Amino acid sequence: MENFLWGVAAGILGVVALVFFAFTVFRRGALTFQIDGFYTHVVDGDVGPFIRDVQADVPDAEVCRLDDRMSCSIREAVQSCGDAGRPDCNVLLLSGGGQWGAYGAGLFDTLSRHSADELALPGIGVITGISTGSLQALMLMVALDPKQAPAMRRFALDRLVWGYSPERESEVVHNTGLISVPLFGSAAGTAPLRRRVIEALMPGGDESLIEAIGQSSIDGFVGFVEAERGVFRYAEVKELVNTAPSAVAAAEALAAATMASSAMPVFHQQLRVAGSDGKALSLYDGGVRRSVFFDRAMAAVDQEVREMMTKAHRGEHALASMEQASFAQEYEDKAPTVYVVRNGPTARKKDDRLNTSSGPLKNGQRGYDLLVNESEIGAIAGLRLNNPYGRILLTSADRYDTFPSDVGENFKKDEMFKPAFMARLRDLGRHKAERPEGPWWPLSPIERS
């Protein structure tokens, strides 16, 4: 009996040793970039006035400052609105969504093809991107820049579409599924994504797109979360390019920023970027904090518009006495138009299976989907609080499963990047760009009491 017990114990220890060995061998670990000077071009994002009120009793809470490059870009855009020499005062916000970014790729590609000057969206001065929107932002800084040659704008759009047209999921990620998280440390390895982002930016070593991004007249910003402090941060795209020692180094820096913005914890391999001091910080998908990181910029828009209106009416008293309709109209006329692309749906599909079956993976996935959806929608709706009367135009990937199309497939299962589904989303972008009412609809202004 004693020998039997010793045998059982030895067997258990053997299994434990085997599991430990597999864990250490197969665990992916963090994907790390070494980018000298990277954090020189990164600033903390402001939480916005409303969240600051909520956190009023937090020791050493963040203090608002409106002198960083993004706010300065917004200030310049507001002040240039209506100036014939500087019409580039509008803003484009690109949300996260992973493979759903194929919708935005199809949308802008089609809008460009149907535009007389091939500009998919005119008058853009500032672009921000989160997660999949960060890759879109890089390409659209060139594709929407009227100062670029038409051929270069088309080249940028072609690379954008290419990025969302993989032939196999393995070209983007090594998807081993949520069930493998305890072994691998994440549901997907992202080394293929690193290669794909760089190939999108420098196809065959071509440096022209990198150069065009650095020379763009549009300011671009990419957001992510610093894991150590839990703080939302963003990087200025053109600075990452223009301070790099070479085009190859610039492409690496841009890949680091976009992958930091896309590194969803648990789902994607952990991402670290080491700066000049050699310390590698872990960075997360910016969507875990805010999907449309424009709180500070929207506050800057509101501040600048009100200051302009105060000067025009020679005092706050005259401004306060204006009728609501007149105030709202003048505010709208002076404020930039803000375009928002929701790279995904705004509501989750009904799933009856959750009432008849159970399981931690299925329930966890559903909970994740619901939380992400609420975060996305709340972030977009929250834009209106800091900009009560300006034009905010939205488009989304809703109706992806009902619009008339025979392209691709209108469903996905556990695939993170399903080629047939992404083809369907690109076609949805085409469909909305071509429908009579167009792809955009407005958010209602806030009533002024």
Task: Give tens-digit pLDDT for 253-274.
Answer: 999 999 999 988 888 889 899 9
pLDDT in tens, 150-164: 999 999 999 999 999
pLDDT in tens, 36-48: 989 888 877 766 6
pTM: 0.87
Q: Single out the catalytic residue among 285, 295, 302, 427.
A: 285
Mean pLDDT value across residues 102-117: 95
**The pLDDT value given to residue 66:** 53
- Cα gap 297→44, rounded to integer Å: 13
**The pLDDT value given to residue 146:** 93
Give the torsion through C-alpha atoms of 185, 29, 373, 47, to 10 deg: 130
Q: Single out the catalytic residue among 131, 216, 291, 396.
A: 131
Would you say residue 347 has pLDDT above 90?
Answer: no
16-51 as b/e: b if 16+ CB within 10 A = eeeeeeeeeeeebeebebebbebbebbbebbbbeee
- Cα gap 343→133, rounded to integer Å: 8
CB contact at 8 A, 173 and 417 = yes
* pLDDT band with cut points at 50, 70 and 90 for residue 215: very high
Q: 66 or 12: which carries more pLDDT confidence?
A: 12
Please name the amino acid found at residue 188: A
* pLDDT band with cut points at 50, 70 and 90 for residue 183: confident
Summarize the chain as % helix, strand, coil (round to 5).
50, 15, 35
Q: 14 or 39: which carries more pLDDT confidence?
A: 39
* pLDDT band with cut points at 50, 70 and 90 for residue 147: very high
- Closest by CA to 429, choosing from 385, 399, 387, 409, is 399
Would you say residue 129 has pLDDT above 90?
Answer: yes
Please name the amino acid found at residue 426: R
**The pLDDT value given to residue 16:** 47
Q: Is 358 a catalytic residue?
A: no
**The pLDDT value given to residue 104:** 97
Would you say residue 8 has pLDDT above 60?
Answer: no
Mean pLDDT value across residues 397-409: 93
Would you say residue 118 has pLDDT above 80?
Answer: yes
Return the number of other C-beta atoms located less than 10 Å from residue 80's C-beta: 16
**The pLDDT value given to residue 62:** 60
**Sole residue written with tokens 């060139």:** 142
**The pLDDT value given to residue 230:** 85
Phi-psi region of 34 (alpha: psi -120 to 50; beta: other; left: phi over 0): beta
Of 85-94, 147-156, 398-407, give the lowest mean pLDDT range: 85-94
* pLDDT band with cut points at 50, 70 and 90 for residue 20: very low
